[in-house]
Amino acid sequence: KETADARFSRRLAERLRLYFVMGSVNCRQDPVLTLEAAIRGGITAFQYREKGRGALTGDDREQLGVKLRELCRAHNVLFMVNDDVELALRLEADGVHVGQEDEAAAIVRRRMPAGILGVSAHDVLEAEEAVRCGADYLGVGPMYMTRTKPDIREVRGPGVIRDIRASGLSLPIVGIGGIEQGRAEAVVRAGADGVAVISAIAQAEEPRQAAERLLTECSPKFA
Ligand code: TZP
Ligand code: MG
């Protein structure tokens, strides 16, 4: 019989199939319109990641967050916040995603006991550490070269996900980094439950179509 933890992981994995990550600086058009289009295209999860040059701060950052949060709530799309536990709590986010450089995952876990905790991991050791800290899912990357995040680690490809799966880890995993049209399938085949993308949707001429195509590529029949 499936344990409660296993059921939670299985359901979370389903909700992480197509995970759109963005903030205002990533978008070609109004971020609210971009998210609306992405939702129409079938994204299952969203992460508000308002950072980088020209990013909104203070009240502006929070007010955009409120709008994006409402959209996700109205369409039953998982809503996560990057890095900032306080903002996540104020926005009543479903959870927080933290990197290796951010506030230690274990501390975030204690401050947001009921929320979903996502942690970035780059290799098997970081993945194991994230599990010990109470991560609910892992973001693994960069899968491919990306221009969206300047401070990425070495590109190691979908093989890292294969290695992490081979180590016995069963938590949900999303691949991230440079996942464009035509690359999602390889990431899912390597053992990911889904893909996380910024520019493939936010920079697309037609974010809705871009999301639709990515969703098809990472559907379970290809895994
Ligand atoms: N973490 C690792 S790579 C990356 C993040 C946030 C950027 C992903 O952006 P894109 O445009 O999908 O390559
Ligand atoms: Mg971070």
Give tens-digit pLDDT for 182-205. Answer: 999 999 999 999 999 999 999 999
- Neighbouring CB atoms inside 10 A of 169's CB total 19
Amino acid at 83: D
Comparing CA positions, the residue from 42, 5, 156, 110 lying closest to residue 164 is: 156
**Distance separating alpha carbons of residues 125 and 14, to the nearest angstrom:** 25
12 alpha carbon – ligand 2 mean position (Å) = 21
Task: Give the mean model confidence (pLDDT) for residues 88-114.
Answer: 89
Annotate 176-205 with b (16+ C-beta within 10 A) or e (fewer).
Answer: bbbbeeebbbbbbebbbbbbbbbbbbbbbe
Q: Is 65 in the pocket of ligand 1 (CB under 6 A)?
A: no
Confidence of residue 221 (pLDDT cuts 50, 70, 90): low
138 alpha carbon – ligand 1 mean position (Å) = 14
Report which bound ligand comes closest to the CA of 97: 2
**Distance separating alpha carbons of residues 204 and 170, to the nearest angstrom:** 33
Across the chain, mean pLDDT equals 95
In percent, the amount of the chain with pLDDT more than 70 equals: 97
Of 37-41, 88-92, 108-112, minimum mean pLDDT range: 108-112
**Distance separating alpha carbons of residues 181 and 201, to the nearest angstrom:** 10
**Distance separating alpha carbons of residues 73 and 219, to the nearest angstrom:** 23
Between 140 and 104, residue with greater pLDDT: 140
Between 29 and 220, residue with greater pLDDT: 29
* 69 has binding-site annotation: no
pLDDT at 121: 96
* 173 has binding-site annotation: no
Q: Which residues are catalytic?
A: 49, 120, 149
Residue 93 has pLDDT above 90, yes or no: yes
189 alpha carbon – ligand 2 mean position (Å) = 26
Angle at Cα 161 formed by Cα 69 and Cα 189, nearest 5°? Answer: 90
Task: Give the mean model confidence (pLDDT) for residues 210-221.
Answer: 91
Instruction: Give, for 79, the enclosing helix (H) or strand (E).
Output: strand 78-82
Contacts of 168 (CB under 8 A, 6+ apart): none
pLDDT at 100: 82
Q: Is 146 in the pocket of ligand 1 (CB under 6 A)?
A: yes
Confidence of residue 222 (pLDDT cuts 50, 70, 90): low
Comparing CA positions, the residue from 112, 114, 27, 32 lying closest to residue 75 is: 32
pLDDT at 84: 94
Tens-place pLDDT, residues 123-160: 999 999 999 999 999 999 999 999 998 888 889 899 99
Q: Are 37 and 75 in contact (CB under 8 A)?
A: no
Q: Is 155 in the pocket of ligand 1 (CB under 6 A)?
A: no
Report which bound ligand comes closest to the CA of 108: 2
Q: Are 104 and 120 in contact (CB under 8 A)?
A: no
Q: Nearest C-alpha to atom 3 of ligand 1 is from which residue?
A: 177
Q: Is 23 in the pocket of ligand 1 (CB under 6 A)?
A: no
Comparing CA positions, the residue from 167, 138, 144 lying closest to residue 157 is: 144
Q: Is 214 in the pocket of ligand 1 (CB under 6 A)?
A: no
Confidence of residue 102 (pLDDT cuts 50, 70, 90): low
68 alpha carbon – ligand 1 mean position (Å) = 19
